[in-house]
């Protein structure tokens, strides 16, 4: 695994002051960590800080919100990005999940203060309070329309809400344990959920009924992802003809990130297993990069990239820190990952550096959402951060 560059979490504030300093480090497996610092020497004519690095580090492009640092000896570069805006009034406590609507206008988030809220993505102003779950809400997401929200809670209930008037229009019951993740099939006539009870279920929104158990594992299913399978993949045949209430399940594969260190692929319509991959630790999250490539994040910090057509061995294992990988999001021609130590980073195929979204200081970043060039993160410190990727 390549070397990893780190920076003081509040570097952009620290370097605002004259003579301001921020620490840097470069960690490479099996070698002593190289420590250094950045010092502000003044301002350039454009109002951008003039920053110098200590021995072993080189400062590249600097803007008001970003700084490119490289460590030539380890041949590694990272662009550190500070938030464009922070919203600290949406929740009082830790924020466990968030999503942004398809038009980019609204956000929805859940917190350990027991609330779920809809807010304006531009300024964090609260628009609606979604009340009805008993205990904590674990996950929330917008339907593709951006007008409806799907949520799952520790009360084992799955709920659908109107974002316009905050009414709960459907409640699904059937899980025997807390719901940990959800997915939406196409435009949302059917939805999926996974739970601590070890099952993944398919639901019919129109009749608020369960259409079937897609998988029944002997261990909690921490995360799911739905994708269109590569045409060469054999997804199996259903044992009985699918209900006419099933819409858009054909040709799709459901990924299950399981607590028992297994990543499973299941044909959504056939309910048949497609593959089973065993990792080094519990899997927390998974996502599709394309119809052939998938990613899965584990409790020990490993991110596995696999080809669904051959899951015997991973294409690569990405490891930036030993903290649990908590969320994975496909982004352009790469992905965004967040971890339990506050690490949140973006990898892109055509960039020779990693983008690091900074400021969370050792607090887990639970979830990442994106809308065009804006990235939103939610964290245990109770803050929603918005990053602007205008310079990608």
Examine the pLDDT at 390 and tell me if it is beyond 80: no
Residue 155: pLDDT over 80: yes
Nearest CA among 268, 196, 262, 261 for reference residue 225: 268
CA distances for 225 relative to 38, 129, 334, angstroms: 41, 27, 16
Confidence of residue 1 (pLDDT cuts 50, 70, 90): low
| pLDDT above 80 for 388 | yes
Task: Provide the pLDDT for residue 164.
Answer: 95
CB hemisphere CA count around 179 (13 angstroms): 30
d(CA 316, CA 293): 11
Taking 90 as the threshold, does the pLDDT of residue 6 lie above it?
yes
- For the ranges 120-124, 187-191, 388-392, the lowest mean pLDDT is seen at 388-392
Confidence of residue 391 (pLDDT cuts 50, 70, 90): low
Rounded CA separation 81/11 (Å): 10
pLDDT for residue 355:
96
Q: How far is CA 145 from CA 161, 187, 283, 359, in A?
A: 12, 8, 30, 32
Q: What is the tens place of the pLDDT at every residue in 299-332?
A: 999 999 999 999 999 999 999 999 999 999 999 9
Distance of CA 341 to the CA centre of its chain: 14
| Confidence (pTM) | 0.96
């Amino acid at each position: 695994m390549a070397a990893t560059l780190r920076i003081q979490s509040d570097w952009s504030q620290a370097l605002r002051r004259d003579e301001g300093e921020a620490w840097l480090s470069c960690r490479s497996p099996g070698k002593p960590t190289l420590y250094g610092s950045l010092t502000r020497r003044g301002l350039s004519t454009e109002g951008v800080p003039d920053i110098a690095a200590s021995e072993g580090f080189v400062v590249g492009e600097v803007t008001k919100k970003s700084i490119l640092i490289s460590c030539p000896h380890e041949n590694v570069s990272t662009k550190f990005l500070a938030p464009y805006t922070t919203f600290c009034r949406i929740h009082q406590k830790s924020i466990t999940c968030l999503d942004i609507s398809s038009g980019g206008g609204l956000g929805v988030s859940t917190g350990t203060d027991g609330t779920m809220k809809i807010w304006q993505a531009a300024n964090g102003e609260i628009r609606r309070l979604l009340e009805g779950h008993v205990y904590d809400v674990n996950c929330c997401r917008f339907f593709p329309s951006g007008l409806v929200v799907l949520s799952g809670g520790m009360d084992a209930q799955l709920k659908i809400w109107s974002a316009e008037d905050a009414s709960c229009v459907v409640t699904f019951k059937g899980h025997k344990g807390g719901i940990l993740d959800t997915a939406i099939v196409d435009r949302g006539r059917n939805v999926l959920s996974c739970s601590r009870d070890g099952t993944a279920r398919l639901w019919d929104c129109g009749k608020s009924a369960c259409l079937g158990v897609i998988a029944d594992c002997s261990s909690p299913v921490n995360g799911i992802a739905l994708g269109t399978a590569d045409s060469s993949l054999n997804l199996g045949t259903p044992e009985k003809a699918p209900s006419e209430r099933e819409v858009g399940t054909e040709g799709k594969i459901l990924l299950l990130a399981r607590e028992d260190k297994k990543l499973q692929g299941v044909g959504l319509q056939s309910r048949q297993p497609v593959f089973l991959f065993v990792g080094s630790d519990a899997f927390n999250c998974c996502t599709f990069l394309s119809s052939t490539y998938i990613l899965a994040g584990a409790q020990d910090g490993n991110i596995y990239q696999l080809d669904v057509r051959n899951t015997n061995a991973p294409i690569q294992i990405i490891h930036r820190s030993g903290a649990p990988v908590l969320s994975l999001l496909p982004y352009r021609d790469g992905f965004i990952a967040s971890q339990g130590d506050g690490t949140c980073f973006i990898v892109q195929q055509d960039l020779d550096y990693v983008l690091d979204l900074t400021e969370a200081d050792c607090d887990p970043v639970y979830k990442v959402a994106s809308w065009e060039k804006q990235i939103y993160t939610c964290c245990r410190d109770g803050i929603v951060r918005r990053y602007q990727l205008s310079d990608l």
